Amino acid sequence: MLLVAAMIGGGGFISARYLLDWGYNPYQIMLGRFIIATLCLSLVYYKNYPNITKKEWRMGGILGVLLAATFLLLTMGLQYTTPSVNAFLCNTQGVIVPFICWLAFHQKPMTSCFFAAFLTLVGVALLSVTKDFSISIGAILSLGASVAFSLQMAFMGKAVEACDCVNIALVEHITVAVISCFIVAFTGIHMPPFSGLAVRSFLFLGVFCTAVYFILQSIGQKYTSANKTAIIITSESIFAAILSVLIYGERMGWRGILGCGIIFIAMVLVEKPIGKVVDSTEKIG
């Protein structure tokens, strides 16, 4: 489930980039994808609404705020960088989540996580630091999205232990849709004329890259740890890079290819059984 979600998510970077190229701003893209996603989920799971508990509304609301921050930063960062670079920088959560779990839940990460964190910094530097040793705003926003998504994954791991995963996903999407409505209302609702390609892109983002994606993540994460979820989900950056070359026509230089490769090695290294680690599904006394 998580691998399928990653494959679908990789295509989302390309669709969002095209919508930006066609004149839509990040707030409008986020509003469109989450309204469509919320409607799709509501049509399928409308019987769940009366059974959503106060705890699920509360937990889903918190996760929804983190998810809104994730997609806002991700889409804003995509304005200033290419889909593959944005995808790799946004998918460093495989390295970040173990440290969040360590700080928040006292779950000590593997020794290899520390080396992976160093490699990630090297890879990020190759992808985002320019010749004059400055870092682009697109890279900063993309990394901010990764931190927000890491927090969402870490707390999702705890939420699904005590709450229904589908109910959590429903509340999450409603929360993001409401937040997006307010942002668009305050920033202006004028949009470029809708074309057939734009409608298809919004539908792909909303139905597959959002609704299906997060249902798969919510259900899949119920059967594994937050750390392992983060590793599997980060593979969407590989799919995004491949699709960006094949569909968007992106061409990466040697720094970009090397940086992506190093980050991918860091993602895999987090799962290498070096040192003692406590799985996030275990309870710590």
Residues 196-215: pLDDT tens digits?
899 999 999 999 998 888 77
Structure confidence by residue, pLDDT tens digits, 51-86:
999 999 999 999 999 999 999 999 999 888 888 778
Instruction: Compute the distance between CA of residue 18 and CA of residue 23 in angstroms, rounded to an integer.
Output: 9
Taking only the tens place, the pLDDT of each residue in 229-281 is 776 777 777 788 888 888 888 777 777 788 778 877 877 776 554 444 444 33
For the chain, give the mean pLDDT. Answer: 82
Say how far apart CA 91 and CA 108 lie, in whole Å.
Answer: 21
pLDDT at 68: 94
Burial call 231-256: b when 16+ CB within 10 Å, e when fewer: bbbbbbbbbbbebbeeebebebeeeb
Which region among 21-25, 35-39, 97-101, 199-203 has the lowest average model confidence (pLDDT)?
97-101
Give the torsion sign (CA, 160, 117, 84, 65). Answer: positive
Of 97, 93, 92, 98, residue with least CA distance to 274 = 98
Give the pLDDT band of residue 1 (cuts 50, 70, 90). Answer: confident
Residue 216 has pLDDT above 60, yes or no: yes
Residue 18 has pLDDT above 80, yes or no: yes
pLDDT of residue 28: 92
